Amino acid sequence: MAPSGSRSFDCWRVLYWIPVLFISLIVAWSYYAYVVQLCIETIENMGEKTVYLLIYHLLFLMFVWSYWQTIYSKPMNPLKEFHLSHVDKELLEREDRRESQQEILRRIAKDLPIYTRTMSGAIRYCDRCLLLKPDRCHHCSACDMCILKMDHHCPWVNNCVGFANYKFFMLFLAYSLLYCLFVTATDMQYFIQFWTVDGKTHDRLIQYLNGLPDTQAKFHIMFLFFAASTFSVSLAFLFAYHCWLVCKNRSTLEAFRAPAFQHGTDKNGFSLGAYKNFRQVFGDEKKYWLLPIFSSLGDGCSFPTCLVNPDPEQPSIPPGRNPSVKSAGESHPFPPKPLRESQSRLLNNGQTDGSEDRDKRGTSNPALTIEKET
């Protein structure tokens, strides 16, 4: 007999799928309302009907494909090199002093591409997954695991949105918005016909209503317009917000709380310019940009940062100064760690114009303590 705790956990997992089921039912109904009730039953012009059906099914296919990919793409977890070995786990458990524990974590992290810290300046360590968190990695309480470049946990897809499926999530927002806008635009004239009355007398009203399609078609046409237009407004705001995040190379979590580095917090620490930021999510090959096929650059564990490499968004260096020569007393805030091949290519390929003001950077280094995140 399975323990009661296990049954309770399975019950909650089933409840998590309710938002996905709701969206699926709405989409299935919209397909019936648009294809059958509007295009087949209501529209009489064969050319208009054919064009509407072709465009609709193209948008519907891309929308469902990207939604499916967002739901069923497994979140990527940190590589094995970020997990503590059995010996390191025992050493960490035996130490009672935080400074000694931090020394162990610093020793492990010195050969890893980790640049971010906790708000107190400590090495980011997850005591549930027993690993050093890579940059931009966070522990999801819903999934109970560390997710690479975690953006947020989305109940509408019952999945974490992160490095593995952020491109799919962006395409899902884009195609769902286009889907709703197309349905709204093509359904509008028939929705207006339903509400427009040619004359004011009761007899003319009855005559007009009798001239429209049957009551079932009227109902679907009316509510299809309301649903599509309502979803269009909410999706437009959400898609615009995530487009801004992509251009700034931030996640939703980083937009609310800027990532912390050794010198302090910096909300633009990972920004390389709008075009390079876009390529980091959608990849180098343009033929894959509009397809829900994984093409993001990197491995999700390390990211190029303007704090380690020249920032294309920073103002140009004054003439006469050699950028490779540091002034006296100026030290590099991070240990020299190699970037992944795709990230080096991203940094070295082209320049992006534009400048952005930086937050003032602190120079103090607070005492390092372990800050466990769950």
Q: Where are the beta strands (DSSP E) in 81-200?
A: 116-117, 124-126, 131-132, 138-140, 145-147, 152-154, 159-161
Which residues are designated catalytic? Answer: 154
- For residues 210 and 207, what is the distance between their CA atoms, to the nearest angstrom? 5
DSSP conformation letters of 136-162: T-EEETTTTEEETT--EEETTTTEEES
- For residues 100 and 98, what is the distance between their CA atoms, to the nearest angstrom? 5
Greatest distance between any 2 Cα atoms in the chain? 92
Which amino acid would we find at residue 110? Answer: K
Buried b (16+ CB within 10 A) or exposed e, 314-350: eeeeeeeeeeeeeeeeeeeeeeeeebbebbeebbeee
Query: Nearest 5 degrees, angle CA 66-CA 154-CA 116?
Result: 105
- For residues 253 and 241, what is the distance between their CA atoms, to the nearest angstrom? 13
User: Can you say how many angstroms the Cα of residue 99 is from the centroid of all Cα atoms in its chain?
Assistant: 36
Complete edge-to-edge strand list for the sheet that includes strand 124-126 = 131-132, 124-126, 371-372
DSSP conformation letters of 13-67: HHHTTHHHHHHHHHHHHHHIIIIIIIIITT---HHHHHHHHHHHHHHHHHHHHHH
Secondary structure letter of residue 284 according to DSSP: S
Please enumerate in sequence order all residues whose Cβ is within 8 A of that of 104, keeping only pairs 6 or more positions apart, or say none. 88, 91, 92, 95
